[in-house]
């Protein structure tokens, strides 16, 4: 039986949703979107609880996860008390308008959240595009290792996201699935 994977995410302008779709490409990964009030349905909570792999995604807002994602995190307190997510595989991704945009702080918040739950974290496993000829459409142009990072200028919609970021997201999804298969 293949591991059950869910991506739980919040999106403000569609960029994080587009990354979630790319991560989930060519798999039976469930997408669980946190609503504008930071809430999930009972069905979504049950889906997350039944998953073997949870991939967390949030836009970077003021150097951290969105308030909606934070509300979701805080709502997991009873799951934490019961250690319901202990030993699940975890990973994370974020997006902001700036190339840096303090995205590492957001990934750190996602990582810390996973560790509070006793989860096992996996990073991108992708080499960076760090030579002179590297361009914005190369895989892992932002050189993120602890989780997926993507950037789109503030005046560009989710439809104009860099092809390299979307390909990095797809490869990140493949990496998480490969690690999950080895663990199960």
**136-166 confidence digits (pLDDT tens):** 999 999 999 999 999 999 999 999 999 999 9
Average the pLDDT over 66-76 and give the result.
99
**88-141 confidence digits (pLDDT tens):** 999 999 999 999 989 999 999 999 999 999 999 999 999 999 999 999 999 999
**11-23 confidence digits (pLDDT tens):** 999 999 999 999 9
State what percent of residues in the chain have pLDDT above 90: 95
Tell me the CA distances in angstroms from 23 to 79, 84, 91, 168, one per residue in order: 25, 24, 11, 9
Please choose, from the candidates 177, 181, 154, the residue with its C-alpha nearest in 3D space to the C-alpha of residue 27: 177
pTM of the model: 0.97
Q: For the CA atoms of the chain, what is the radius of gyration?
A: 15
Mean pLDDT rounded to a whole number for the chain: 96
CA distance 112 to 133: 35
Burial environment of residue 38 by CB neighbours within 10 A (0 to 12, 13 to 18, 19 or more): middle
Split at pLDDT 50, 70, 90, the class of 27 is confident
Architecture of domain 5-183: 3-Layer(aba) Sandwich (3.40)
Task: Indicate if the pLDDT at residue 168 is higher than 70.
Answer: yes
Please choose, from the candidates 51, 53, 52, 71, the residue with its C-alpha nearest in 3D space to the C-alpha of residue 61: 71
Q: What are phi and psi of 32, to 5 degrees?
A: -120, 105
Average the pLDDT over 37-63 and give the result.
98
Split at pLDDT 50, 70, 90, the class of 26 is low
* pLDDT number for residue 7: 98
The domain spans of the chain are 5-183
């Amino acid at each position: 039986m293949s591991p059950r994977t869910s991506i739980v995410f919040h999106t403000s302008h569609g960029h994080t949703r587009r990354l979630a779709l790319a991560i989930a490409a060519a798999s039976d990964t469930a997408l669980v979107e946190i609503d504008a009030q930071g809430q999930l349905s009972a069905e979504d909570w049950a889906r997350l609880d039944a998953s073997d792999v949870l991939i967390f995604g949030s836009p970077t807002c003021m150097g951290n996860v969105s308030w909606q994602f934070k509300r979701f995190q805080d709502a997991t307190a009873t799951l934490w008390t019961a250690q319901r997510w202990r030993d699940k595989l975890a990973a994370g991704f974020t997006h902001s308008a700036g190339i840096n945009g303090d995205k590492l702080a957001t990934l750190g918040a996602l990582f810390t959240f996973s560790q509070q739950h006793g989860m096992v974290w996996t990073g991108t496993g992708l080499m960076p595009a760090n030579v002179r000829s590297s361009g914005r459409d190369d895989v892992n142009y932002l050189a993120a290792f602890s989780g997926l990072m993507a950037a789109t200028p503030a005046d560009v919609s989710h439809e104009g996201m860099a092809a390299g970021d979307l390909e990095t997201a797809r490869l990140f999804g493949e990496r998480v699935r490969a690690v999950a298969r080895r663990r199960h």
